[in-house]
Structure 1
Amino acid sequence: MIKKIKYEILKSYRHYYGYGYRGLKKILRRCSYHHHNMDIKLVALRTLLTMKPSIRVVDKKVENEYRSKWKRLESTVPKSFIKIYPSFTGIESPDFVPSPLFYNIIEPILNNYTYSISFADKNMYAKLFDTSLQPAVVLRKIHGQYLDQNYQHVEDVDGKITHLASTEEAKFILKPAIDSRGGKKIYLLKSENGKLFLRGQIVDNDWLEKNVGDNFLIQRFVQQHPFYARFNPSSLNTMRVYTYRSVKDDVIHVLHAMLRVGKEGSLVDNMSGGGKAIGITHEGKFKKCANSSAGEVFSKVRDVDLSNGLDVYMFDEVQKRAKEVAATQFYSRFLGFDFCVDENDQVRLIEINNIDIGVESIQRSNGPLFREFTDEVIDYCEKHKKGFRYTIH
């Protein structure tokens, strides 16, 4: 009898604790949303103040349609985005997605955050799709375990590193397996005299233990194709390709693409590090200008003149690969892929973005994010808004 009473008390405690815990998560999530919204709005305001193209006066009817359309998902619809995007693209459309609504409502509904994290792990890519699509992995660490490219345990890490460094002038990329957004903690390693170096420091087991986390990988350096190297030779310039799996029929569509070019001297091509974005048309041609996160526009990138509508090298193959990989991402309907083309004309997948996917640059470059699928996305999110769970990262 006593055991039964204790069990009932425990059940009751767990029941109320569950409600309290879920409520607390929701409150914290909403607080983080407000903080995130403020960051986004401040960036938008800064862009408005510094952007080089003149601020376009959008037709009042379009502005009202924009507000009415997005109010279905959130009562507060920031006006800044309907001012910024038309000023860059010349397109006046109510379909431009306000960033706060995308990050707070649309992305968490289209992509299951809980499972997406696992699919975003670069150490898991080889388990999901063709390894020939990826830069060759030579050493990885998963949850504290050192493994080789075939996921076999590595006993002698220093011996493995010495073997890698035995090839003179070999280069490798060290990066986190999860969350390398903004090019954070991505390093270029070089071999010299049988050792690996990072800016003069010897990279060995001790160095990795002290300076890198429990989840990372070391890949062979990808030498990009000369076509892309001329935009900036120091960075690996990647094509960001956005795909959408329709909520109506599950057909995968390539929505947009752009080339991201790193700042001169930079190893990475991220916009946050001073890079530029060049929109790509659906016909596979570059748009006639590039833009930066600071609101600047450029008709030339380095010595490449964009005014002639240059053809994008191997764009059709990149789109094909994007659709293939998107088909393996069962828990995400909206994705941003980073692809490059190497010196041997091979398309390489550098990263899958399925959480906090950057959408500002592509709307500045190409136009409304979801194109003709905007209304179906809004309908779907409005229907599922009350049902989705808040997730704290």
Structure 2
Amino acid sequence: MSFKYQMLRFLSTYARKAYRVLNYEHFVEQNIQLAKKFKPKNGQVLYKLTSEDLKNYKKKWGVFGAGVKDIHVRNASGFLGYFDENIVPSDVYFAIIEPLLNNRKFALAYEDKARIDWINKPEHIPAIYVRNINGVYYSNDKKVLQKQSIDFDGLLTGVDSVVIKKTIEIHGGKGVEMFDRNKEGQLVNDKNEILSLDLLEQKFKKDFLVQKTVEQHPFYKAFNPSSLNTFRVYTYRSVTDNQIHILYSFLRIGAEKSRVDNIANGGVFVCLKEGRFIEKGMKIGGVVVKQMNGLKPFKEMGTPPFIDEVYKLAKELAASHYYCRILGFDLAIDAQGKVMHIETNTSDIGMEGLQCTLGPLFHEFTDEIIEYCKTEMKPKSKYSIYGS
């Protein structure tokens, strides 16, 4: 390898490291702000951590380095009403556990939305009309296409709505735009820009796709009709027996008039326990929500339709991701009740609010994961990019 490329690789690695350090400290600051919700009011607090609680917590997670912050468990206890030493510190999760469970050399490639139907189950992927990979257009059967040969209008004949996505290196609903037919029959976005390949290249340059919009099942549409409301399902491939388990699942519901369901854009998430919605959903900043859009309270809704099929598909998808032990799948239910695979998340899989609603991220698998990571980790700071 030439000196030039060695230096580029060195600088790239440390740029990612600096980015992660800043983000971990940002997570801590977010948690500190959240903690203000739990300052005693009129002498009352849902749960007050004891010195013995904190001692046990720091002993358990201190195996990953000195200075374990207790802000994470303070917040979780405030919401849950009890202490659990298995609450995972966010910085430990993002800096150590996730990179050790998921081999980053391979993991990021499996997030590529432009190849989602090529590397997963294509029958569960919404139709892709155009895909641009690294500046090159490809047909659905993987043949190279010249831009001038693409009959863009012909491909979208009879299509009333499409979603445009940036396909790599982006999360949280960013890089997503919707185009709908107007009265003149043109596909336009909310800025009234007319959809064309030239427009997409201007916006994204490369690495984007044009995909069919999912018409969702009436049950899920009722929560918020403007957004595709998706399940996020966390799977874990055990480090002891390699069996795949469902860790968590929650429904994400978009904010009113929002086209995306992301929490950062004002949406709500509500977790499921034993296949049923729990009592409390949550918005960003720890705002509790118990029902949506005039519907029944979450706790009275029973088992959401097709949830068994959602879990079944999540496990089937996880089985083919050999380099990743923890995954977050975004799955939707279409109008016919079919589970559609929207996205695969292999890195920086958000987990901040989950532990405040259902408790420890890894449940009964916490100790086996700690032991595995202790064995695999390198003797460096928690900000090292393990697995890179």
Does the pair score TM above 0.5? yes
Aligned to 1:298: 289
- Which structure 2 residues correspond to residues 114-193 of structure 1 after superposition, within 5 A? 114-156=105-147, 160-167=151-158, 170-192=160-182, 193=184
User: CA offset at residue 310 of structure 1?
Assistant: 2.5
Aligned to 1:43: 30
User: CA offset at residue 309 of structure 1?
Assistant: 5.2
% identical equivalent positions: 33
Which one of the candidate residues 283, 286, 306 is aligned to 2:277? 286
- Quick one: distance in 2 between partners of 1:165 and 1:194? 11
User: CA offset at residue 35 of structure 1?
Assistant: 1.7
Give the conservation status (yes or no) of the 8 Å contact 1:262–1:274: yes
- Which structure 2 residues correspond to residues 258-297 of structure 1 after superposition, within 5 A? 258-281=250-273, 283-297=274-288
Aligned to 1:251: 243
Give the conservation status (yes or no) of the 8 Å contact 1:340–1:347: yes
Which one of the candidate residues 361, 378, 385 is aligned to 1:390? 385
User: CA offset at residue 71 of structure 1?
Assistant: 0.4
Give the conservation status (yes or no) of the 8 Å contact 1:262–1:275: yes
Of residues 288-297 and 308-317 in structure 1, the stretch that sits farther from structure 2 once superposed is 308-317
Give the conservation status (yes or no) of the 8 Å contact 2:96–2:386: no
- Quick one: distance in 2 between partners of 1:378 and 1:347? 33
Of residues 115-124 and 85-94 in structure 1, the stretch that sits farther from structure 2 once superposed is 85-94
Aligned to 1:205: 197
Does the C-alpha gap of structure 1 residues 148 and 20 become closer, same or farther in structure 2, counting only changes over 3 Å?
closer
Of residues 359-368 and 158-167 in structure 1, the stretch that sits farther from structure 2 once superposed is 158-167
- Quick one: distance in 1 between partners of 2:263 and 2:38? 15
- Quick one: distance in 2 between partners of 1:24 and 1:205? 34
Give the conservation status (yes or no) of the 8 Å contact 1:74–1:101: no
Does the C-alpha gap of structure 1 residues 137 and 25 become closer, same or farther in structure 2, counting only changes over 3 Å?
closer
Aligned to 1:4: none
Aligned to 2:102: 111
- Quick one: distance in 2 between partners of 1:20 and 1:165? 45
Give the conservation status (yes or no) of the 8 Å contact 1:340–1:348: yes
- Quick one: distance in 2 between partners of 1:15 and 1:148? 36
Q: CA RMSD in A?
A: 2.8
Aligned to 2:323: 331
Instruction: Could you tell me which runs of 5 or more consecutive residues in structure 2 were left unpaired when the two chains were aligned.
Output: none
Give the conservation status (yes or no) of the 8 Å contact 2:236–2:325: yes
Amino acid at match of 2:120: F
Of residues 288-297 and 122-131 in structure 1, the stretch that sits farther from structure 2 once superposed is 122-131
- Quick one: distance in 2 between partners of 1:302 and 1:349? 26
Q: Greater CA radius of gyration, 1 or 2?
A: 1
Amino acid at match of 2:307: F
User: CA offset at residue 320 of structure 1?
Assistant: 0.7
TM-score, L = length of structure 1: 0.88
Amino acid at match of 1:97: V
Q: Deviations over 1:340-360 (max 9, x none)?
A: 111000001111111111011
User: CA offset at residue 279 of structure 1?
Assistant: 0.8
Give the conservation status (yes or no) of the 8 Å contact 1:261–1:275: yes
TM-score, L = length of structure 2: 0.89
Task: Give the length in aligned residue pairs.
Answer: 378
Aligned to 2:366: 374
Q: Deviations over 1:146-177 (max 9, x none)?
A: 2233223333558522113432x611110111
- Quick one: distance in 2 between partners of 1:123 and 1:339? 17
- Quick one: distance in 2 between partners of 1:244 and 1:184? 26
Does the C-alpha gap of structure 1 residues 156 and 219 become closer, same or farther in structure 2, counting only changes over 3 Å?
same
1:80 aligns with 2:71: yes
Amino acid at match of 1:374: T
- Quick one: distance in 2 between partners of 1:331 and 1:184? 26
Give the conservation status (yes or no) of the 8 Å contact 2:126–2:211: yes
Does the C-alpha gap of structure 1 residues 126 and 18 become closer, same or farther in structure 2, counting only changes over 3 Å?
closer
Q: Deviations over 1:276-317 (max 9, x none)?
A: 110100x21000011112111012122221232521211111
Give the conservation status (yes or no) of the 8 Å contact 2:100–2:386: no
